[in-house]
A and B are shown apart, each in its own frame.
Chain A
Amino acid sequence: MSPLELYADSPGFAVLTDDEVGRIREIAGRYPSGKSAILPALWILQHREGILTAEGMREVARALDMPPGPVEAVASFYSMFFFKPHGKYVVEMCTNISCLVMGAGGILNRLEEKLGTRAGTTTADGLCTLMEVECLGACGGAPAAQVNHRFVENLTAEKVDALVDDMRAGRLPQHVFATGEEAASRGTMVDLANPGANRVKLPAHGAGGSVMDLVKGSQTLIETGSQHPAERGYREPAPVAAEPQA
């Protein structure tokens, strides 16, 4: 059975638009192997939805004609993908060596104070998520950060204050991120700390149907002439006596 039969009973695309599916397939065509388009496709998904949901990743897999596993595996490896809703602005503050030496710790504290939230969390009004990240490649302008993927460098306490004020007043030139709240409300959030909890559910008749169908399949195999395991000398193990209840 081809893994693609997993999708046999799925109607159209619900998360990705036709345009996005087209773009993903066009990108896949640029590479000798369509698998290489997983990363660009996940970016397309996250750009619009804000986060990667289980359904979204499954549709990426379908657009690329592959099973969902590799797509989830790739998505969970990289640090820039979001699986939980975040603020409209994401401030990624570098605290790595060059920034550390130039006082990034103080700047991070200032950001925490001014935003009223700790690094790794989102402000109560959902405006901004503050994150501590690794080197951004802005060491000459340390301490540095990125706000929605745009560099802000040579940070000082005054610059931090102005940045947060501008953010609150909606005056930042950066484009605003989709927070993922909407996607989370209609889709399934993936919990990376507990990967088993939110697996993509197989369609009712996916994977060759139900477990019983698979058993039936093996019976068909036997009936059509192949040797039954028992006839190859296989013996059922003797039933283990149940432990007497204390």
Chain B
Amino acid sequence: MSSLLEPRLTRDIEMEGLRTLEGYRRWGGYRAIARGLKMAPGDIAQAVTDSGLTGRGGAGFPTGRKWSLMPKDKHPRYLVANADESEPGTFKDRYLMERNPHLLLEGVLLSARAVEADQAFIYVRGEYAEIQQVLQEALDEARQANLVGDDILGSGWNLDVVIHGGAGAYICGEENALLESLNGNRGRPRPKPPYFPAAIGLYDAPTALNNVETLCNVPLIVDNGADWFKSVGTEKATGTRLMCLSGQVNRPGIYEVPQGMAAMTLINEVAGGMRDGKKLKCVQPGGSSSQFLTAAQLEDTTMDADSLRAHGTMGGSGAVVVISEDQCMVEYTARLADFYYRESCGKCTPCREGTFWLSRIVRRIEAGGGREEDVELMVDVCNNIDGKSLCALGEAAAWPIRSSVQQFEAEYRAHVAAHGCPFKGTAPNAPTSIEALV
């Protein structure tokens, strides 16, 4: 398939023994660190800046610029790999770490050198217990081979890497909440300003915090150069992205594609089209936090930040959830609302209260107890979270839910009118009282 030509991060990812140091070296690994050790830290950072690499975790911030925001010569300073992949629909980092753990380690080493970090941490979500083990084995091997620790490969440069396991909290994927968690506190976000991790991060020291996929790209950039990296993708969105295809497609899975691929190509060719010949209703193009794109909108959408933004949504974590015509959007949105309600840390009022009420209102619409004005009420609650919450979790709840209500208003109205879910055949199912449902 021409569109999948030349995978980079996922090249030979099913190769036997890739997880071992010996296998990774055979793959071409740890060449970049040997080169990087001879380069000045600033040159590594410059190569990353030149490549146009942007964060692959969700926000899409240029990586080189993120690093440049760290105050110069202030020590100690840290590098943290965000492997707390919890955005529903996203499973690319797990795939990378499971199959090629040394690539992440090499990325951590090079990035730590680029930002002159004194220590590096990999924060892996608690649910990835198996992956923590895979990483730990790789780290032990790398340490024995003098790739991690003191005087790395005789260069006189030291770096210690610590793998830190979480214990179940979506909020810990948010940068400040992650740092709080790593600090040994409850994983709650801190206000920005003043807590920009680049300036006041882990242990209140300057901290570079990057997603796993972002870090994995760094060895490839150092090894092959920025121009090679830019040779695929669009002018503004360079390189490849791991797309997590899930939902009603024939071949769900991880696909590495050039940025800017047409959305319909991704669904129909890469992911094998709709399952059982079902009709496409919509997708969430960037994880559970992104706004929906209807089938009609998808026709002229490409999967890069600019095009997605023009359609009122975002590339987020690269998770594309494909939804077919027979899926009830109220049920889907109710599950989303439940998720954000459960995962809200409760620190700020708009998010704590807003997600609670969104969950209750959408659940009562789904169950048949919705009122005509509930549809507007949901949009109103979303508007009062958006831009007013302490961290992005609140907005991540408001965006898709508001988008769902606005784009699929007819479905919500149908639920209210029929006192039940038309998709489940439960309507008419008029409840005796609304109170019985909430």
Please, which residues of chain B bring their CB within 8 A of the CB of A116? Answer: none
Please, which residues of chain B bring their CB within 8 A of the CB of A106? Answer: none
Binary interface encoding of chain A residues 35-48 relative to chain B, with 1 for a CB under 8 A from any of its CBs, else 0 = 11111101100000
Interface residues of B in 399-415 (CB under 8 A from A): none
Q: Does A95 contact B (CB under 8 A)?
A: yes
B426 nearest CB across to chain A (Å): 13
User: Which residue of chain B has its CB nearest to the CB of A98?
Assistant: B246
Instruction: Please tell me if the beta carbons of A78 and B89 are within 8 angstroms of each other in the complex.
Output: no
Q: Does A135 contact B (CB under 8 A)?
A: yes
Instruction: Please tell me if the beta carbons of A77 and B169 are within 8 angstroms of each other in the complex.
Output: yes
Q: Does B362 contact A (CB under 8 A)?
A: no
| Known A32-B203, A81-B167, A97-B335; contact A139-B184, beta-carbon cutoff 8 A | no
Q: Does B319 contact A (CB under 8 A)?
A: yes
Q: Does B165 contact A (CB under 8 A)?
A: yes
Instruction: Please tell me if the beta carbons of A140 and B167 are within 8 angstroms of each other in the complex.
Output: no
Please, which residues of chain B bring their CB within 8 A of the CB of A79? Answer: 167-169
Interface residues of A in 171-212 (CB under 8 A from B): none
Assembled-state Cα–Cα distance A73/B183 (Å): 13
Assembled-state Cα–Cα distance A40/B136 (Å): 14
Instruction: Please tell me if the beta carbons of A70 and B335 are within 8 angstroms of each other in the complex.
Output: no
Interface residues of A in 2-43 (CB under 8 A from B): 30-40, 42-43
Interface residues of B in 115-162 (CB under 8 A from A): 119, 125-130, 160, 162
Instruction: Please tell me if the beta carbons of B91 and A39 are within 8 angstroms of each other in the complex.
Output: no
Q: Does B422 contact A (CB under 8 A)?
A: no
Identify which of B88, B164, B170 contacts A36 (C-beta below 8 A).
Answer: B164
Please classify the interface of chain A as helix (H, G, I), strand (E, B), loop, or mixed, using the class held by over half of its residues.
Answer: mixed
Stretch at the interface among A120-128, A143-151, A222-230: A143-151
Assembled-state Cα–Cα distance A78/B177 (Å): 12
B330 nearest CB across to chain A (Å): 12
Q: Does A100 contact B (CB under 8 A)?
A: yes
Instruction: Please tell me if the beta carbons of B127 and A97 are within 8 angstroms of each other in the complex.
Output: no
Binary interface encoding of chain B residues 301-344 relative to chain A, with 1 for a CB under 8 A from any of its CBs, else 0 = 00000000000000000010111100100011001100100110
Q: Does B182 contact A (CB under 8 A)?
A: yes
Identify which of A73, A74, A139 contacts B90 (C-beta below 8 A).
Answer: A139
Instruction: Please tell me if the beta carbons of B129 and A97 are within 8 angstroms of each other in the complex.
Output: no
Q: Does A165 contact B (CB under 8 A)?
A: no
Binary interface encoding of chain B residues 156-200 relative to chain A, with 1 for a CB under 8 A from any of its CBs, else 0 = 000010101111111000000000011111111000000000000
Instruction: Please tell me if the beta carbons of A138 and B129 are within 8 angstroms of each other in the complex.
Output: no
Identify which of A35, A95, A150 contacts B183 (C-beta below 8 A).
Answer: A35
User: Which residue of chain A has its CB nearest to the CB of B184?
Assistant: A35
A152 nearest CB across to chain B (Å): 12
Interface residues of B in 211-263 (CB under 8 A from A): 244-248, 252-254
B130 nearest CB across to chain A (Å): 6
Instruction: Please tell me if the beta carbons of B166 and A139 are within 8 angstroms of each other in the complex.
Output: no
| Known A39-B167, A40-B164, A136-B127; contact A97-B203, beta-carbon cutoff 8 A | no
Q: Does A111 contact B (CB under 8 A)?
A: no
Interface residues of A in 67-81 (CB under 8 A from B): 70, 73-74, 77-81
Instruction: Please tell me if the beta carbons of B88 and A134 are within 8 angstroms of each other in the complex.
Output: yes
Please, which residues of chain A bring their CB within 8 A of the CB of B332? Answer: 97, 100-101
Q: Does A102 contact B (CB under 8 A)?
A: yes
Q: Does B395 contact A (CB under 8 A)?
A: no
A131 nearest CB across to chain B (Å): 11
Instruction: Please tell me if the beta carbons of B127 and A98 are within 8 angstroms of each other in the complex.
Output: no
A141 nearest CB across to chain B (Å): 8
Please, which residues of chain B bring their CB within 8 A of the CB of A102? Answer: 246-248
Please, which residues of chain A bring their CB within 8 A of the CB of B125? Answer: 137
Q: Does A96 contact B (CB under 8 A)?
A: yes
Q: Does A142 contact B (CB under 8 A)?
A: yes
Instruction: Please tell me if the beta carbons of B181 and A134 are within 8 angstroms of each other in the complex.
Output: no
Please, which residues of chain A bring their CB within 8 A of the CB of B106? Answer: none
Q: Does B87 contact A (CB under 8 A)?
A: yes
Identify which of A31, A135, A139, A151 contacts B252 (C-beta below 8 A).
Answer: A139
Identify which of B87, B126, B322, B331 contacts A80 (C-beta below 8 A).
Answer: B126
Instruction: Please tell me if the beta carbons of A43 and B167 are within 8 angstroms of each other in the complex.
Output: yes
Instruction: Please tell me if the beta carbons of A101 and B168 are within 8 angstroms of each other in the complex.
Output: no
Please, which residues of chain A bring their CB within 8 A of the CB of B248? Answer: 101-102
Q: Does B359 contact A (CB under 8 A)?
A: no
Instruction: Please tell me if the beta carbons of B284 and A77 are within 8 angstroms of each other in the complex.
Output: no
Instruction: Please tell me if the beta carbons of B88 and A140 are within 8 angstroms of each other in the complex.
Output: no
Identify which of A43, A95, A134 contacts B170 (C-beta below 8 A).
Answer: A134
Q: Give 9 nearest A-B pairs by CB, closest first.
A: A35-B184, A78-B167, A80-B168, A79-B168, A139-B246, A135-B88, A98-B246, A77-B186, A149-B129
* Complex A-B: 25 CB contacts under 8 Å: A30-B162, A31-B162, A32-B119, A33-B184, A38-B184, A43-B165, A43-B167, A73-B185, A77-B169, A77-B186, A77-B187, A77-B188, A78-B169, A80-B126, A95-B335, A97-B89, A98-B88, A100-B335, A101-B324, A135-B87, A135-B288, A137-B93, A138-B91, A138-B94, A139-B252
Add 19 more A-B contacts to A32-B76, A97-B332, A142-B252 (CB < 8 A): A32-B119, A33-B184, A35-B185, A36-B164, A43-B165, A70-B185, A74-B184, A78-B167, A78-B169, A101-B332, A102-B247, A134-B342, A135-B170, A137-B127, A138-B91, A139-B88, A140-B244, A142-B246, A142-B247
